[in-house]
Structure 1
């Protein structure tokens, strides 16, 4: 088994492998053993996991930027005009 680029706790890996086994059996009629499921999981993580992870980061960054814009607008609304002389 190769070293995965994205690491999961052992319990998480076991859950993901189990879900992969269930999906393969139900959707494509392929019964995987535990080792095969973990091997396929590593393949999927290494081949597409990084792109999914990076997309998640971009989505999070966009959500934060939107919130910052909202806060910036709210702060601008609090500005007071200087007194007229």
Structure 2
């Protein structure tokens, strides 16, 4: 599987979200570099699990819709 890529704007927004989380939940400040390392870790180790679940969910949805199409077949 290919590595996930983000635009600079997406990455910046996620880094800010991580920093805001640390302030809100842990009352700690972390810098851009530390937040970026955390984001890299999540993208490498955790994001593929959610991505794969999304693929499985989409496959199931599409499969159900294909089955619905077969129900529309005309007999005779």
TM-score, scaled to structure 2: 0.85
Report the Cα distance in structure 2 between the residues aligned to 1:21 and 1:55, rounded to whole angstroms: 27
Q: How does 1:66-77 map to 2 (within 5 A)?
A: 66-74=64-72, 76=73
**Unaligned 5+ runs, structure 2:** none
Tell which has more relative contact order, 1 or 2 (C-alpha 8 A, sep 6+): 1
Report the Cα distance in structure 2 between the residues aligned to 1:38 and 1:28, rounded to whole angstroms: 17
Report the Cα distance in structure 2 between the residues aligned to 1:57 and 1:80, rounded to whole angstroms: 34
* Aligned alpha-carbon RMSD (Å): 1.3
Determine whether 1:56 maps to 2:61. no
**Over alpha carbons, which structure has the higher Rg?**
1
What corresponds to 2:32 in structure 1?
34
Aligned residues: 74
What corresponds to 2:11 in structure 1?
13
Q: CA deviation at 1:65?
A: 0.9
**Unaligned 5+ runs, structure 1:** none
**4+ residue segments displaced more than 4 Å:** none
Q: CA deviation at 1:27?
A: 1.5
